[in-house]
Structure 1
Amino acid sequence: MKFQAKLLLVFFVVAGLITGCSKDKYDAEKQAGIDDGLIVDFIKKNNLSATKHSSGLYYQIITPGTGDYNINASSTVTVNYEGKLLDGSVFDKSKQAITFSLSQVIKGWTIGIPLIQPGGRIRLLIPSTLAYGNESPGPGIPKNSVLDFTVDLISVK
């Protein structure tokens, strides 16, 4: 009985070591630093005027919009948008206005969209830690990708 217990214990230790070694070691803080450097370089290279939010998000308000809405994570918004990687490749673009709750999108949008009002346009440079992190949501967006969105806010409910 003791031999079987030891054998089982050895099996779990070896299995843990094997699976532990095969996984990527993800350090969100380190990745945030890498992303910040990429965004700063992108801003300089493209001569952009962007502001850094306390979250690590960079944004450029192109048009502020009008109104006095208290937009937050529970708001439902209607937008048009285009999403690109920093190399300029487009991974998504709305074909028509779409409506959704800001609680259902990546954190970078939840933080960035409330910075404008309806009729406004904003450019969001979203570090991977406020987007999909070290996961790829599908073809066109590799893990740890910084995302570049231009969003037109049509309406808020």
Structure 2
Amino acid sequence: MIKIKHLTLFMLLVVTAISSCKKDEDPDKQITDFIAKNNIAATKDASGLYYQIIKPGTGNFTYPASTSITIKYEGRLLDGTVFDNGSGKEQTFILSQLIQGWRIGIPKIQKGGEIRLIIPPGLGYGSGATGPIPGNSVLDFTIQLSDAK
């Protein structure tokens, strides 16, 4: 009798634990819902990156991996929380050293351009995100490109 009570209690705990676990929502669904809710005219790249070219910029620069870019940017989570803005100042980076979503998205504009990148976790920080960015977060960046060389 006691064994049956313990087994029943154990099974109840297991079922409760499993049912209370929240399944991770599909990142693509999170992004498409976010885009629809905010009326963003975004395009989906074959990589899974969504982007909106705000200003295309000028020029005809091609982007080798060693490209040095100078940008101002702001990174947000889909709830609007700003997790990074480069202190509001221009920052210079080597394109090949950035997250994949930036390596794919930034070459879609030229100097003087501005782009919004909505980056699924696999092209961002994935499950290894730290600090103010929860693991497997979709990222929303606005990037102004002032120079590329």
- Stretches of structure 1 lacking an aligned partner (at least 5 in a row): 1-30
Q: Which amino acid aligns with 2:104?
A: I
Q: 1:103 maps to what in 2? A: 96
Q: Does the CA contact (< 8 Å) of 1:72 and 1:110 recur in 2? A: no
Shift of 1:73: 2.7
Counterpart Cα distance in 2 of 1:100 and 1:125:
20
Please report the TM-score for the alignment, with normalisation by the length of structure 2: 0.81
Q: 1:81 maps to what in 2? A: 73
Aligned pairs (5 A) from 1:1-157: 34-94=26-86, 95-136=88-129, 138-157=130-149
Give the RMSD, CA atoms, in angstroms: 1.2
Counterpart Cα distance in 1 of 2:39 and 2:139:
17
Shift of 1:64: 0.1
Q: 1:15 maps to what in 2? A: none
Shift of 1:72: 3.6
Identity %: 57
Shift of 1:135: 1.0
Give every structure 1 segment of 4 or more consecutive aligned residues whose post-TM-superposition deviation is greater than 6 Å: none
- Stretches of structure 2 lacking an aligned partner (at least 5 in a row): 1-23
Counterpart Cα distance in 2 of 1:122 and 1:134:
25
